[in-house]
């Protein structure tokens, strides 16, 4: 019998708690979710929103990616807490550094994915995580980047120029009603990267509440174009249910005030 995939549905995957060790001696906590029955076709390394405003590895789009994509799309999902960030998984060492020392966090995540022999590694940044992607993610091991709600707050023109010169694919998903960068301005700003694809998402807002499925479909189309989309909304096999109360204090209410 088919079951509808809901916000807290957890589909089968091989999930393991991981630790990342940075070059400056910080230990970060995370999780790697891989398909149960096959090798992954692609890998997402997820960089979360601003931790001072509720961002973490369990921010809802990434939680749903880890709970669904290994089974639905054969994609591995690596998510972790940047320095000083807490979630149900635990608290990463170090302290929030306003996109300075986080360069080591990005490098450690990419290195982990490389050493784990994970294929076709893509960075997926959300808000603050898009700045980390643009500033520190242009690595030979990376196939490309998907940016969710990029505010272009910490990243500078020279970072965009580096991605332009690198030639790696960049897709920016821009909510129609974003708080910081809306589609028209995004098209102008990302013109600095000739290969960048700017995708306006009608009706969406910065936090993608109610639009996670659209986001996951767009990500899958870029990183694993052979996988049919839109992704299924039902599942015939075993399915668990996540504990929504575990995230009650880290939901939209936690994003009052400036977010990034």
C-alpha span between 170 and 176 (Å, rounded): 19
| Nearest Cα to Cα of residue 177 among 218, 208, 137 | 208
Q: What is the pLDDT of residue 237?
A: 93
3-state secondary structure of 38: coil
| E strand spans, 48-203 | 75-80, 86-87, 90-91, 121-126, 142-148, 170-175, 196-201
Q: What is the DSSP string of 118-133?
A: -SSEEEEEETHHHHHH
Q: What is the pLDDT of residue 64?
A: 98
Q: What is the pLDDT of residue 252?
A: 42
Q: What is the pLDDT of residue 250?
A: 55
Q: What is the pLDDT of residue 57?
A: 98
Other CB atoms within a 10 A radius of the CB of residue 178 amount to 22
Q: What is the pLDDT of residue 243?
A: 83
Q: What is the pLDDT of residue 245?
A: 74
For 52, residues 6+ apart whose C-beta sits below 8 A from its C-beta are 96
CA atoms within 13 A on the CB side of 242: 21
Q: What is the pLDDT of residue 254?
A: 36
Q: What is the pLDDT of residue 136?
A: 98
Mean pLDDT by 10 residues, the chain (260 residues): 92 98 98 97 98 96 98 98 97 98 98 98 98 98 98 97 98 97 98 98 97 98 98 96 72 40
Distances (CA, A) of 76 to 14, 17, 68, 159, 245: 9, 14, 10, 27, 26
Domains, the chain, in order of start with CATH, read 3-226 (3.40.50.1820)
| Nearest Cα to Cα of residue 219 among 199, 192, 189 | 199
């Amino acid at each position: 019998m088919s079951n509808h995939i809901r916000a807290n549905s957890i589909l089968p995957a091989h999930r393991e708690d991981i630790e990342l060790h940075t070059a400056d001696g910080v230990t970060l906590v995370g999780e790697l979710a891989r398909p149960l029955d096959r090798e992954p076709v692609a890998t997402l390394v997820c960089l979360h929103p601003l931790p001072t405003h509720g961002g973490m590895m369990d921010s809802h789009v990434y939680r749903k990616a880890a709970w669904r994509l290994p089974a639905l799309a054969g994609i591995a999902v690596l998510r972790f807490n940047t320095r000083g960030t807490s979630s149900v998984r635990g608290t990463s060492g170090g302290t929030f550094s306003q996109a300075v020392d986080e360069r080591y966090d990005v490098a450690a995540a990419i290195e982990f994915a490389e050493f784990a022999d994970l294929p076709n590694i893509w960075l997926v940044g959300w808000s603050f995580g898009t700045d980390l992607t643009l500033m520190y993610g242009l690595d030979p091991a990376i196939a490309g980047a998907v940016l969710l709600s990029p505010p272009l707050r910490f990243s500078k023109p020279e970072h965009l120029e580096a991605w332009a010169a690198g030639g790696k694919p960049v897709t920016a998903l821009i909510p129609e009603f974003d708080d910081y960068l809306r589609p028209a301005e995004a098209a102008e700003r990302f013109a600095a990267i000739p290969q960048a694809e700017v995708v306006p998402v009608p009706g969406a807002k910065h936090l993608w509440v109610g639009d996670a499925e659209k986001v996951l479909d767009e990500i899958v189309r870029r990183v694993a174009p052979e996988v049919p989309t839109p992704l299924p909304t039902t599942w015939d096999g075993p399915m668990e249910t996540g504990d929504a109360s575990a995230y009650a204090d880290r939901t939209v209410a936690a994003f009052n005030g400036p977010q990034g």
